[in-house]
Chain A
Amino acid sequence: MASTTTTTTNNNNETPDAPLAPEQLLFSSTDSETLSKNILMVGAGGIGCELIKTLALTGFRNISIIDLDTIDISNLNRQFLFRKKHVGMSKSQVAKESVEKFAGSKQTGINIEAYTGNIKEERFGLDFFKKFDIVLNGLDNLEARRHVNRLCLSANVPLVESGTTGYKGQVTVHLRGKYCSCFECAPKPVPKSFPICTLRDTPSTFVHTIVFATDLLFPRLFGANKEDPSDLDEEEARDAFTRKENEAGTAFAKRVFAYVFEKKIKDLLEREDMWANRDKKPEALDSETLLKTKEERTATTGYGDAHKKWTMEEASEIFVRSAGKLFEKGDRISEFDKDDDDAVAFVTATAQLRCANYGIEYMSRFDAKGVAGNIVHAVATTNAIISGLIVIEALKILNAQKHLDEKEEGEGKNDRLIKLANSRYTFVGNFNAGRQLLQPLAPDEQNPKCVVCANARAELCCDISKTTLADVISKVLKKKLNTNEPTVLKGDDMLHEEGEDLDDDEVENYAIIGKRTLQDLGLESGGILCVDDNSQELKFDLVVVHQNLEEFDEDAFPEGFELRGETPKVAEGAEKEKDEDGAATDGEASDEIEIVEEGVEITKAVESPRLGKTKAIASSPSPASKKRKTK
Chain B
Amino acid sequence: MKNNNNNNNNNDDKEEDEEHPSMKLTDAQAEMYDRQLRVWGVSTQLKIAKARVLILGAESPTLLECAKNIVLAGVSKVILCRGKAKEEEEETLSFLVSVEDRAKKISVAEAAAKSLQEMNPFGEVSAADFKFEDLEEDKDAASAILGENYDVVICCGRRVHANTVKHLNEVCRERKIAFFLTESSSNHGYFFSDLGDAFEFIERKKHDSDNNEDGKESALLTKPFESFGSAIQKTSFANFKPKRSCKFTPIFCALKQLELMNLKPTLEEVREHISKLPDGDKVVDGVSLEDLALFLDNRIEMPAIAAIVGGLLANEVIKSISHAEEPVCNFFCFDVLSGKGAVEKLG
Min Cβ gap A92→B in Å is: 17
Chain A residues with CB under 8 Å of B312's CB are 381, 385, 437-438
Interface stretch, picked from A69-77, A253-261, A402-410, is A69-77
Among A58, A77, A439, the residue within 8 A (CB) of B32 is A77
- CB <8 Å contact, B304 and A78: no
Q: With A80-B68, A377-B38, A377-B39 in contact, do A388 and B304 touch (Cβ < 8 Å)?
A: yes
| Contact between chains at B35 and A74 (CB < 8 Å) | yes
Q: Are A392 and B31 in contact (CB under 8 A)?
A: no
Among B93, B119, B336, B337, the residue within 8 A (CB) of A102 is: B93
Q: Is the CB of A381 within 8 A of B38?
A: no
Enumerate chain B residues within 8 angstroms of A205, measured Cβ to Cβ: 212
When A83-B118, A392-B336 are in contact, do A167 and B65 touch as well, CB less than 8 Å?
no
Pair B314/A381 contact, Cβ less than 8 Å: yes
Given contacts A74-B32, A103-B93, A370-B38, contact A438 B339 (CB under 8 A): yes
Chain B residue at minimal CB-CB distance from A305: B24
A437 to B93, CA, bound (A): 28
Q: How far is the CA of A56 from the CA of B40 in the complex (A)?
A: 31
Which of B76-84, B148-156, B260-268, B325-333 is found at the contact surface with chain A? B325-333
Q: Of residues 29 to 45 in B, which have CB atoms within 8 Å of A's CB atoms?
A: 30-40, 42
CB pair B36–A104 under 8 Å, yes or no, is no
Interface residues of A in 303-325 (CB under 8 A from B): 305-307
Residues from chain B with a CB closer than 8 A to the CB of A104 are 99
CB distance from B207 to the nearest CB of A (A): 8
Residues of B within 8 A of A73 (CB): 31-32
Q: Which of A29, A73, A80 has the most CB of B within 10 A?
A: A80
Tell me how far the C-beta of B122 lies from the nearest C-beta in chain A, rounded to whole angstroms: 10
Contact of A388 with B305 in the complex, beta carbons under 8 Å: yes
Which B residues are in CB contact (< 8 Å) with A57? 61, 93-95, 303
Closest to A104 in B: B99
User: Quick check: B30 and A306 within 8 Å, CB to CB?
Assistant: yes
- Given B31, B73, B209, B337, which contacts A606 in the complex, CB threshold below 8 Å? B209
Chain A hits for B69, CB < 8 A: 380-381, 384
Partner pick for A385 among B39, B210, B213, B311, CB 8 A cutoff: B311
Contact B307 A379 (CB under 8 A): no
Q: Which residues of A contact B326 (CB under 8 A)?
A: 431-433
Q: Shortest beta-carbon distance, B191 to chain A, in Å?
A: 10
Determine whether the beta carbon of A167 is less than 8 Å from that of B315: yes
* In contact, A384 and B65 (Cβ under 8 angstroms): yes
- Contact residue among A53, A84, A106, A388 (Cβ-Cβ distance under 8 Å from B311): A388
Q: How far is the CB of A306 from chain B (nearest CB, A)?
A: 7
Q: Mark A58-91, 1 if CB is under 8 A from B, else 0.
A: 1000000000000001101110100110000000
Are A102's CB and B99's CB within 8 A?
yes
> Within the complex, what minimum Cβ distance (angstroms) separates A100 from chain B?
8
Q: Is the CB of B304 within 8 A of A392?
A: yes
How near does chain B come to A181, taking the closest CB pair, in angstroms? 18
Tell me the minimal C-beta distance from B112 to chain A in angstroms: 10
A107 and B100 CA atoms in complex are apart in Å by 11
Which positions 1-49 of chain A face chain B at CB distance < 8 Å? 7, 22, 25-27, 29
Distance in Å: Cβ of A249 to nearest Cβ of chain B? 27
Which chain A residue has the least Cβ–Cβ distance from B30?
A306
| Cβ-defined contact, B35 with A375, below 8 A | yes
Smallest CB-CB separation from B338: which chain A residue? A440
Query: Does residue B342 face the partner (Cβ distance < 8 Å to A)?
Result: yes
Contacts of A391 in B (CB 8 A): 303-304, 307
**Contact partners of B207 in chain A: CB under 8 A:** 430
CB distance from A523 to the nearest CB of B (A): 40
CA distance A370 to B341 in the complex (A): 32
Identify which of A54, A366, A436 contacts B304 (C-beta below 8 A).
A54
A607 close to chain B: CB less than 8 A = yes
In the complex, the answer to whether A384 meets B310 with C-beta atoms within 8 Å is: yes
B96 at the interface (CB under 8 A from A): yes
Q: Decide if B311 touches A608 in the complex (CB within 8 Å).
A: no
- Determine whether A426 belongs to the interface, using a CB cutoff of 8 Å to chain B: yes
> Mask for B94-138, Cβ within 8 A of A = 1, else 0?
111111000000000000000000111100000000000000000
Contact present for A76 and B308 (CB under 8 Å): no
Query: Quick check: B73 and A379 within 8 Å, CB to CB?
Result: yes
CB of B328 within 8 A of CB of A378, answer: no
Chain A residues with CB below 8 A from B68, complex form = 80, 380, 384
User: Who on chain B is nearest to A306 by CB?
Assistant: B30
Count of A-B contacts with CB under 8 A?
Answer: 186
Q: Could you tell me if B72 and A430 are in contact, using CB atoms closer than 8 angstroms?
A: no
A150: chain B residues at CB < 8 Å are: none
Instruction: Say yes or no: A381-B95 contact (C-beta < 8 A), given A388-B304, A608-B210.
Output: no
- Taking the closest CB of chain B, its distance from the CB of A396, in whole angstroms, is 9
Alpha-carbon gap, A607 to B121, bound state (A): 37
Q: Is the CB of A384 within 8 A of B339?
A: no
B146 interface hit (Cβ, 8 Å): no
By CB atoms of chain B within 10 A, which of A27, A367, A379 has the most? A379
Q: How far is the CA of A1 from the CA of B97 in the complex (A)?
A: 28
- B340 near A377 with CB under 8 A, answer no
Chain B residues contacting A567 (CB-CB under 8 Å) are none
Kindly list chain B residues whose C-beta atoms are within 8 Å of the C-beta of A387: 304, 307
Residue A422 at the chain B interface, CB threshold 8 Å: yes
- Residues of B near A167 (CB, < 8 A) are 39, 315
> Using Cβ atoms and an 8 Å threshold, which residues of chain B touch A628?
none
- Structural contact, B336 and A7, CB atoms closer than 8 A: no
Q: Does A366 contact B119, Cβ atoms closer than 8 Å?
A: no
Are B95 and A56 in contact, CB atoms less than 8 angstroms apart?
yes
- A382 on the B face (CB < 8 A): yes
Interface string of B44-71 (1 = CB under 8 A from A): 0000000000000000010001001100
Minimum CB distance partner of A426 in chain B: B339
- Tell whether B306 is near chain A: CB-to-CB under 8 Å: yes
B95 touching A377, Cβ below 8 Å: no
Q: Is the CB of A437 within 8 A of B341?
A: yes
CA distance A106 to B187 in the complex (A): 29
* Binary flags per residue of B207-232, CB closer than 8 Å to A gives 1, else 0: 11111110000000000000000000
- Within 8 Å by CB of A607, from B65, B210, B310, lies B210
B: residues with CB less than 8 A from A are 24, 30-40, 42, 61, 65, 68-69, 72-74, 93-99, 118-121, 186-187, 207-213, 288, 290, 302-308, 310-312, 314-315, 318, 325-328, 332, 334, 336-343
Per CB-CB distance, the 6 closest pairs between chain A and chain B, nearest first, are A438-B341, A440-B339, A377-B38, A388-B307, A57-B303, A104-B99
In addition to A380-B68, A391-B303, 12 A-B residue pairs with Cβ atoms within 8 Å of each other are A54-B304, A80-B119, A103-B93, A361-B213, A379-B35, A380-B69, A381-B314, A384-B68, A385-B308, A424-B339, A437-B312, A437-B341
30 contacts between A and B (CB under 8 A): A54-B307, A57-B61, A73-B32, A77-B73, A77-B74, A80-B68, A84-B121, A101-B99, A102-B94, A102-B96, A102-B97, A102-B99, A306-B30, A367-B209, A370-B38, A376-B35, A380-B73, A381-B69, A381-B312, A381-B315, A383-B311, A384-B314, A388-B305, A392-B336, A395-B304, A422-B337, A431-B315, A431-B327, A608-B208, A608-B210
